[in-house]
């Protein structure tokens, strides 16, 4: 059995990997590694984990985000800022927020309430 194959609970072999290297993702998507690294700096949604050696470890959800970004930029002709807005709008429509935005708003509301109580 190859390293990329795993045996599932039902005994079936699953050839999907949990993590992919940057070179594997580049091969699938058709972009150079420096492009992926740049997109990581521009799109907060794209944050692959890093392994112990510090190498990027992309999961399936990261690859889906990369595909979505590539489609927006290359096929639909969006600029980077336009693609960021489009991704944010799509995530908002799906009921998902950018990481930290909801928490920040909630904390701010809570702190304003506390400040109001203290100034009374």
Give the pLDDT band (50/70/90) at residue 5. Answer: very low
The percentage of the chain sitting over the pLDDT mark of 90, rounded to a whole number, equals 50
Q: Would you state the pLDDT for residue 97?
A: 52
With H, G, I as helix, E, B as strand and everything else as coil, classify residue 99.
coil
Contact 22, 35 (CB under 8 A): no
Pairing of strands 49-50, 6-7: unpaired
- State pLDDT tens for residues 55-114: 999 999 999 999 999 999 999 999 999 999 998 888 777 765 555 555 677 788 888 888
Contact 57, 49 (CB under 8 A): yes
CATH number for the domain formed by residue range(s) 6-119:
1.10.1660.10
Q: In the chain, what are the domain boundaries?
A: 6-119
């Amino acid at each position: 059995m190859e390293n990329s194959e795993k045996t599932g609970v039902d005994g079936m072999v699953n050839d999907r990997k949990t993590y992919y290297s940057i070179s594997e993702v580049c091969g699938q998507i058709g972009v150079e590694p420096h492009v992926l690294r740049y997109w990581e700096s521009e799109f907060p949604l794209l944050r692959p984990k890093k392994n112990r050696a510090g190498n990027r470890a992309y999961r399936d959800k990261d690859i889906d985000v990369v595909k979505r970004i590539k489609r927006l930029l290359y096929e639909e002709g969006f600029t980077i800022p336009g693609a960021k807005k489009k991704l944010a709008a799509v995530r908002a429509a799906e009921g998902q927020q950018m990481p930290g935005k909801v928490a920040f708003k909630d904390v701010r509301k809570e702190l304003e309430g506390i400040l109001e109580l203290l100034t009374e």
